[in-house]
Amino acid sequence: MAFNGIKFDTSVPGMIPWEIVTIYFIVGLAIVFYFARRFGLKSFTTIDLVYIAVGAAFSVVWEFYIGSFIGRFLPSTPFIGVGFWGRMFILLIVAALVRKPGTGMLSLLIFNILSDLFFYGFGGEPMYTIYEALTYGLFLDLVIIGSRGKLFGIGHKSTDGSSVATRTVLGLAVLEGIIIGILFAIPDPIFYLGFFRPLISGAIVNWATIQFDLLAFIPGDVIIGILGALAGQRIAKAVGQ
């Protein structure tokens, strides 16, 4: 398939088969529909929507205006991703404030619409909306579900209903931050380098680069995951959520 000299390659050597990517996104969409039926947008109160909107707006400001410029003073290597780290950090704070399934996907959807309005002019849509919401957003939502709405230990009580020690709550935040950090390191190398980039630009798939990028993303993302979880915990307390 080709348009204007740009081929949509589905047979680049080493590329993830399109069938697997399609199955992933169909399963992702099925989970979205399950969320929508079970919880729906109605489960979000007005304040939740405002938190999500503020977080998305902050992410746009960071990723396109501030972080991208600060990032230019730093070396360009897969170990450092100032723009992405900022977005991840803000996303974790929003998740700590809302703590409802669907927060991750809705936040990334709003972020994508805002970044289109302010920056991309709807370039690349709807592909990136689907891709980011169903990878980063979905991963975050799965952690929220796994924590039973007590993300980063916020509101966590022991079985007899009494409050648990601060150390336990901190431990939970760090653990969940690490899990989110590792999960957030996966989509870009695997889906972007392994599928979307060769699909759009016929780029060569190099699994050594994919593995290197995946491993290189993990340390930074894990650190930001932990920092975001701890900041989320504190901001939720400061805001009174």
Where do contacts with another protein occur on this chain (CB under 8 A)?
A: 4-7, 41, 44-47, 49-54, 56-58, 60-62, 65-66, 68-70, 72-77, 90, 93, 97, 106, 109-110, 113-114, 116-123, 197, 201-203, 209, 231, 235, 238-239
143 within 8 A of 92, measured Cβ to Cβ: no
- Comparing CB distances to another protein, the nearer of 132 and 183 is 132
- Comparing CB distances to another protein, the nearer of 44 and 184 is 44
Q: Report in angstroms how near the CB of residue 201 gets to another protein at its nearest.
A: 5
Closest CA to 134 of 18, 29, 20: 29
- Comparing CB distances to another protein, the nearer of 80 and 164 is 80
Q: Report in angstroms how near the CB of residue 206 gets to another protein at its nearest.
A: 10
Residue with tokens 């994919």: 210
- Comparing CB distances to another protein, the nearer of 49 and 130 is 49
Pairwise CA distance, residues 102 & 105, whole Å: 5
CB count within 10 Å of CB 146 equals 11
Which two tokens mark 159?
């079985």
In this structure, the chain runs to a length of 241
- Comparing CB distances to another protein, the nearer of 60 and 179 is 60
Q: Report in angstroms how near the CB of residue 180 gets to another protein at its nearest.
A: 18
Q: Report in angstroms how near the CB of residue 174 gets to another protein at its nearest.
A: 19
Pairwise CA distance, residues 125 & 116, whole Å: 8
Pairwise CA distance, residues 96 & 160, whole Å: 24
- Comparing CB distances to another protein, the nearer of 25 and 68 is 68
Q: Report in angstroms how near the CB of residue 32 gets to another protein at its nearest.
A: 13
CA distances in angstroms from 110 to 59, 77, 107, listed in the order given: 10, 28, 5
232 within 8 A of 96, measured Cβ to Cβ: yes
237 within 8 A of 43, measured Cβ to Cβ: no
Q: Report in angstroms how near the CB of residue 120 gets to another protein at its nearest.
A: 6
